[in-house]
Amino acid sequence: MASDKTAQSLTPNAVRAAYNLIQPYVHRTPLLTCKTLDSIASTPQSPEALAGTLFEGQTPAQPNFRFYFKCENLQRIGAFKARGAFHAVLRLLEERGEEEVKSRGVITHSSGNHAQALALAASTLDIPAYIVMPHISTSSKIAGTKSHGAEVIFSGSTSVEREAVVAEIQAKTDAILVPPYDYFDIICGQGTTALELEEQYAERSSGILDAVITPVGGGGLNAGVATYFSDKPQTRVFGAEPSFEGADDCRRGLQAGQRVESVSTLTIADGLRTPVGVLNWEVISDKRKVEGVFAVTEEQIKATMRLVLERMKVVVEPSAVVGLAACLFDEDLRRRVEQEGGEKGWDVALVFSGGNTTVEAISKLFS
Amino acid sequence: MASDKTAQSLTPNAVRAAYNLIQPYVHRTPLLTCKTLDSIASTPQSPEALAGTLFEGQTPAQPNFRFYFKCENLQRIGAFKARGAFHAVLRLLEERGEEEVKSRGVITHSSGNHAQALALAASTLDIPAYIVMPHISTSSKIAGTKSHGAEVIFSGSTSVEREAVVAEIQAKTDAILVPPYDYFDIICGQGTTALELEEQYAERSSGILDAVITPVGGGGLNAGVATYFSDKPQTRVFGAEPSFEGADDCRRGLQAGQRVESVSTLTIADGLRTPVGVLNWEVISDKRKVEGVFAVTEEQIKATMRLVLERMKVVVEPSAVVGLAACLFDEDLRRRVEQEGGEKGWDVALVFSGGNTTVEAISKLFS
């Protein structure tokens, strides 16, 4: 079953194979609609709202949006990361055999959703897991990871410090590294989000899905989704990311024609603070696979998160809403939907990537 | 079509008839499950958690719960009130004719979800609506009511002041009063929640629904649900309400054998500050229809709301979670589920009555 794990092998069939493997272990999360959000997004922005932006002075666009929200915030461990983690561990079992994987265990370093996802996948499949977390991680995330039975080892917070601790544990245990995003089997796992949402869309509409937009952090989700849709040119794939303190590394990289290798940002979209990985960059920078990446401001993320919480009544983390924020505020995108979609407009699937927040974090954002 | 609108006429068939009328106008809201919440509720409380409560010193109960959450927070206008309001207006049209109702219009006084629900129903059916709101109402609720095309008239905040303004408007317009809960057609409309959740439960389980718990404020929802289940003795119906500052008027009334006529409380469950209405009391105090009503504290409501937001990722208002809070914290209920449900436990449907809150309100509750 060993495969050539290059960007060339990232095909829709690889995603389908991943889906067959992980289906018993993950939720088929709902694809929700919300007429209120459709209507808000389909109302032109006021000229005043454009003041001080790149779009100042333009006539506001008049797009028509029908949204389909793929609710990975309702996925196991509260984020799409469960898909990739289960797939990576199941593939290790296939490739190296149960005995080897169970005796060596798996290891990663993460302070976020990948930590909990790998802990859950490993405990479900009865494999030891070592998770290196910065000691400044929030106690709820540490508790969440431990609750899935993983051994949590603390490190400093820089990547050099984390990797040193990983190397130390690996020297002792020979545990197999499962990286969070820049890794073939993780990308195929995250791509199953696309397969499911396409099926669910077809169950309720005989139309064509015009576009899919996902958040871009390390890029595993976006690259996986773009891989799945790569042989369906009618469905455009886009990414979205925060612009704060240079978090829009992917957008800037695409402009410059070269991947941005490091990012240092404290954007509120804390799942999107990392630069795009090398393998993911190969997919995302391929114009035939990903048409473009939009960047949104902190205020736009907050305003969008408020709309989703208050009007749609669904709990999302800030990272989850950057795609919707682009639809609401990016006049280039809105103009394109107006021009290409015309009166009919566009059917747009948006991946709500995760919902791991707390009432305290919400309080802090909005007080 | 005129009917005898007494408690005796509140039958399952009256609820079915209501459903036929309102179905085109309301959402079939999802019935969600959440294994995490099942597991938390099925874990015995610690003896320390019982200290200082009525249950101090008892051995914590070991119940097994499987919850089915009827998400009326995802209903139109964000609460079950849309059901009753549409039904009441549609019945007026049937009974009095379009011409009369359209020329006279409808009127109510409410600062909450009923105001928006009646405004929506009236505007949908092209009928003028006058909504008397206390001038201290939050601006978002006033804006919400106006956005459905209703004429908002301000009053003082006591019921005497509100009713005086209603009388004044009625003298001018002859508008027909649609009360918020103590009203036959409203009760039948709210009861359709039960019909739907029973259908949805049967779609996914061949078992028996052991219990349904709804919040009790004015009692329209609880009386409607109890009416629908009144010929199905295997499904027990319960109510739940806050205990803060005497908001548990229904529970106290049941103990004393007499309806409590007035309540003055500022419980955070702001939808449940009113006393149970006269007609609703007739239903709820009938032991064959409603087995009992539980009361929960402000801290229990907050802890439960946190669980629903953070673990289930669904936005609810405080009033919505009192039933779940009873399952989590009331040892009498938990003991009963342990004893009557045994190892199998109980399948319990909980009505999440509404989701109309704001990020500011969440911040205030949890900061």
Q: What is the pLDDT of residues B114-157, one digit of tens each?
A: 999 999 999 999 999 999 998 888 777 888 899 888 999 999 88
Helix (H) or strand (E) holding B31: strand B31-32
Contact A313 B367 (CB under 8 A): no
Query: Rounded to an integer, what distance in angstroms lies between the CA atom of residue A291 and that of residue A236?
Result: 7
Work out whether the CA dihedral B264, B265, B266, B270 comes out positive or negative: negative
DSSP, res A308:
I
Please tell me the distance from the alpha carbon of residue B277 to that of residue B258, in angstroms, as a whole number.
12
Q: In this predicted structure, what is the pLDDT of residue A136?
A: 81
More confident residue, B301 or B158: B301
Of B120, B301, B315, B356, which to mutate for an interface test with A (greatest number of A Cβ within 10 Å)?
B315
Structure tokens of B161?
């002041």
**Residue of chain A whose alpha carbon sits nearest to that of B33:** A74
pLDDT (tens digit, 9 = 90+) per residue, B20-78?
A: 999 999 999 999 999 999 999 999 999 999 998 889 999 999 999 999 999 999 999 99
At B205-220, the pLDDT tens digits run: 999 999 999 999 999 9
Indicate yes or no: CB of B316 within 8 angstroms of CB of A313.
Answer: yes
Cite the beta strand spans of B216-326 per DSSP E: 236-242, 292-296
In angstroms, the separation between the Cα of residue B260 and the nearest Cα of chain A is: 34
pLDDT computed for residue A165 by the predictor? 96
Q: What is the pLDDT of residue A1?
A: 41
Alpha-carbon span A113 to A236, nearest angstrom: 27
The ipTM, to two decimals, is 0.92
Once rounded to an integer, what is the mean pLDDT over residues B248-254? Answer: 97
pLDDT, chain B, mean = 95
Query: Out of A313, A355, A366, whose CB is closest to B355?
Result: A313
- Considering only CB atoms, which chain B residues are within 8 Å of A82? none
- Beta strand residue intervals within B84-224, DSSP E: 106-109, 129-134, 151-155, 176-177, 211-215
User: Is A310–B306 a contact, with Cβ atoms under 8 angstroms apart?
Assistant: no
Does residue B339 surpass a pLDDT of 80? yes
**Active-site residue A264, yes or no?**
no
Interface contact flag, A366 B367, Cβ < 8 Å: no
- The minimal CB distance from A314 to the residues B306, B313, B360 is found for B313
Interface mutation vs chain A, best among B25, B301, B307, B313, most A CBs within 10 Å: B313
Task: Report the distance separating Cα A161 and Cα A168, nearest Å.
Answer: 11
Q: Do A363 and B363 touch (CB under 8 A)?
A: yes
Please list the active-site residues of B: 81, 111
Q: Name the pTM for this structure.
A: 0.94
Q: What is the mean pLDDT of residues B241-261?
A: 97
State the Cα–Cα distance between residues A311 and B73, nearest whole angstrom: 10
Is A81 known to be catalytic?
yes
User: b vs e for B206-244, b when ≥16 Cβ sit within 10 Å of the residue's Cβ?
Assistant: eeebbbbbbbbbbbbbbbbbbbbbbeeeebbbbbbbbbb
pLDDT, average across residues B162-166: 93
Give phi and psi for A158, each to the nearest 5.
-75, 160
Torsion, Cα of A338, A344, A345, A350 (10° steps)? 180
pLDDT of residue B185: 98
Helix (H) / strand (E) containing A71: strand A65-71
Q: Mind telling me how many Å the CA of A295 is from chain B's nearest CA?
A: 24
How crowded is residue B12: how many other Cβ atoms within 10 Å of its Cβ?
Answer: 16
Q: Which amino acid is at B16?
A: R
The Cα–Cα gap between A225 and A232 comes to: 11
**Whether B313 and A73 lie within 8 Å, measured CB to CB:** yes
Numbered residues of chain A with Cβ closer than 8 Å to any chain B Cβ: 30, 73-74, 78, 305-306, 309-310, 313-316, 355, 357-360, 362-363, 365-367
Which residues of B have a CB under 8 Å from any CB of A? 30, 73-74, 78, 305-306, 309-310, 313-316, 355, 357-360, 362-363, 365-367
pLDDT of residue B3: 53
Taking contacts as CB-CB distances below 8 angstroms, the residues of chain B near A305 are 359
| pLDDT lower than 70: segments of chain A | 1-3
Q: Is A185 exposed, middle or buried (0-12, 13-18, 19+ CB in 10 A)?
A: buried
